Amino acid sequence: MRVAALYDVHGHLPALEAVLEDVDASGADFVLVGGDFATGPMGAETTDLLRSLGDRVRFIRGNSERELWAPGPEQEGGPPPELVDWTREQLGAERIAFFRSLPERDRVDVAGLGNVLFCHGTPRSDEEIVTELTPDERLREVLAGVEEPVVVCGHTHVQFDRQVGATRLVNAGSVGMPYEDEPGAYWALLGPDVELRRTPFDQDVAAARIGATGYPDEIPTARRAEASEFFEQLARKRA
């Protein structure tokens, strides 16, 4: 079994379309959508495309899907309420009901890796922050009780692959809103090892398509070192 892990698409349909072409060529048996796929400029179309894959796709939900029906207190790094309202209106009740039916985690037996645990933030929270800079001591606490040898997460939009004790912790990156040093859509292919991948696509054409949606926000950008340090500071504030 080989799995294409697509995280944090954030309604970026052009990026998703490009990645799915790569997935088709990769030999992946199915796509694991790791949450935060629907909140963004083309969330309805993104959701519908992923659902159209049928048995070739499995979903877990992310914090941004959950916040559509269970918003937490407004906090630094979170979406402004008006953006959540716009997204909710674009998606409609049926899609949101579908999001509510999704699990927070999934487990897959991947060829060459064994049982892999897929979650959005960490195994214990869809919004907990871990990065390539997170100290091993804190990661051991985050991963306490995890039995799977590999854990795949997202949420912070920066790819990494770390070994913490007996656990390999992988961030698949972000398809639609990566904080990386090169443009593209970032994802991971699992089986028989972990491949961190980048799919290029036409940025100008994508920007024009997104600009036509009336999306009431900008898609943020950052380089990986800047983003990792920002998220680590945010994690310390929330601790």
State how far the Cα of 44 lies from the Cα of 89, in Å rounded to an integer: 10
Per the prediction, the chain carries an average pLDDT of 95
Residue 213's pLDDT is 96
Least confident of 35-39, 70-74, 180-184, 212-216: 70-74
Predicted model pTM: 0.96
| Domains with residue ranges and CATH for the chain | 3-114+172-238 (3.60.21.10)
Residue 234's pLDDT is 94
pLDDT band for position 167 (50/70/90)? very high
Residue 194 CB neighbours (<10 A): 20
The one-character DSSP state at 107 is E
Do 170 and 187 meet the contact criterion of CB atoms below 8 Å apart?
no
Residue 186's pLDDT is 98
pLDDT at 77 exceeding the cut of 60: no
Residue 197 CB neighbours (<10 A): 20
Residue 72's pLDDT is 66
The one-character DSSP state at 80 is P
Rounded to the nearest 10 degrees, the angle between the axes of helix 81-100 and helix 43-51 is 20
Q: How far apart are the first and last CA of the chain?
A: 38
Q: Averaged over 152-173, what is the pLDDT?
A: 98
Residue 75's pLDDT is 59
State how far the Cα of 197 lies from the Cα of 207, in Å rounded to an integer: 22
**What percent of the chain is modeled with pLDDT above 90?**
91
Q: Which helix (H) or strand (E) holds 160?
A: strand 160-164
State how far the Cα of 77 lies from the Cα of 197, in Å rounded to an integer: 26
